[in-house]
Amino acid sequence: MTTQIISIHSYRGGTGKSNTTANLAAQLALLGRRVAIIDTDIPSPGIHILFGLDETRMHRTLNQFLHGECQIEDVGYAIGQMEGGAPGVSQLHGKNLWLLPASPNRDEIARILQHGYDVSLLNKGIQTFRRSLDLDYFFIDTHPGLNDETLLSIAVSDLLIVILRPDNQDFQGTSVTVDVARKLDVSNLEIVVNKALLSKYDSEQIKAQVESTYGVPVLTVLPLAEDVVDNASADIFSLAHPESPWSQRLKAAAEALDHRFKSG
């Protein structure tokens, strides 16, 4: 199985993009796959928090690589080899999951924002890391909205997953994203509906409406859940609370992706 590069995108922040990315990657790692996540949301990084990383534990980040100060392999943190951690993260011990975080340091963020970086270098780093680790899956947690970096991530992906909250602003923004993806000839595009009010609306009706609106398949519909909100970024929710309906839907989505790529 060749590496499948999967970009997770949303038109705006607050959709649960990073949380969905972390949980999908973790579930695939539990299936025995070799998985990496890169945080390209450089202006507002955060996925590292879900895995229990902070500035004191991240000696090298994507920012340093983009400034030519280290190799891409120096940026990869083997989550499965780290001691301790929250209950969900601890289930990843011994699993093949790597995280390439962006720096949460304000000076490092300001340096990128002021000077920018070579977008082609980011692509080169992604390709180098996936080959050196012989990955099955490489997830790109993108910056919300559309910019040069996001367009690159979309263009190099084998699959683009767009996270959609069921409200009017997201419906309009997702339409723009879908149109851009099609112009970039992205052959595989799916939508995850997140924070759906399933106590009021039927998930199958939501799925049918979204697929009809965009002409794009819906991978799953995830409910708005108080326990997920309460968890915030404290842990990998689907591992810490596998009995939750949100976790069960997320796990089923990961298994469906894996089955598709293995059989394809």
pLDDT exceeds 80 at position 263: no
pTM of the model: 0.96
Q: What is the 3-state secondary structure (H, E, C) of 195-216?
A: EECCCCCCHHHHHHHHHHHHCC
Is 247 a residue whose pLDDT tops 80? yes
Structural domain count of the chain: 1
Which residue in 5, 99, 106 sits closest to 60, CA to CA?
Answer: 99
Q: Across the chain, which distance is largest between two alpha carbons, in Å?
A: 52
Residues 62-119: tens digit of each pLDDT? 999 999 999 999 999 999 999 888 999 999 999 999 999 999 999 999 999 898 888 8
Q: Return mean pLDDT, the chain.
A: 94
pLDDT digits (tens, 9 = 90+) for 212-224: 999 999 999 999 9
Residue from 55, 75, 63 nearest 111 by CA: 63
Most confident of 122-131, 171-180, 255-264: 122-131
Q: Is the pLDDT of residue 188 over 90?
A: yes
Containing domain of residue 226, as a range?
4-263
pLDDT, one tens digit per residue, over 117-163 is: 888 999 999 999 999 999 999 999 999 988 877 888 888 899 999 99
**Residue 82 sits in a domain of what CATH number?**
3.40.50.300
What is the mean predicted confidence (pLDDT) over 36-63?
Answer: 95
Residue 190 pLDDT exceeds 80: yes
Q: In the prediction, which pLDDT does 264 show?
A: 65
206/198 Cα distance (integer angstroms): 9
Residue 197: pLDDT above 70?
A: yes
